[in-house]
Amino acid sequence: MSVAYVDTSAVAAIAFGEPNATVLAHRLRGFGRLHSSNLLEAELRAAFSREMVDFSAGPIAGIDWVLPDRPLTREFERVLTAGYLKGADLWHVATALYVATDPAQVTFVTLHGQQASVAETLGFKTLHGTKLQM
């Protein structure tokens, strides 16, 4: 079964119909399971509020929430050794590491170039930017 960890940037792009949203949504439907931190919901709700649009749960339907049962200290350190990321981007990559037994078996989906680069350094496959072109 193919598994992906989805960053907020990808879900927001779909929710707001940004360029490549249709292609991205199609590619996400190809995965057997989608995981994300529930931070995604907070970030997405904030984006809907900022844009003064009523929140729709549609874009997050079918995502399995990863709820760590311990601090992600080890994962934060591992991520920051691979490269610098801001707080929310760091949290998402660390959460993906937490859930991934083998990062090579998980695709990290993001529209943030630096986040994708760090995820690749950690061994994740990535789906981002130019990889969205059909």
What are the structural domain ranges in the chain? Answer: 3-132
| Sign for the pseudo-dihedral over CA of 128, 65, 94, 33 | negative
30-57 pLDDT tens trace: 999 999 999 999 999 999 999 898 888 7
pLDDT at 132: 53
pLDDT at 56: 81
pLDDT at 133: 45
* Helical spans, DSSP H, in the chain: 8-15, 21-29, 39-50, 73-82, 87-99, 113-121
CA–CA gap between residue 31 and residue 63 (Å, rounded):
11
Low-confidence stretches of the chain (pLDDT < 50) are: 133-134
Considering the entire predicted model, what is its pTM? 0.92
For 3-132, give the CATH class. Answer: alpha beta
In the DSSP assignment, the letter for residue 2 is -
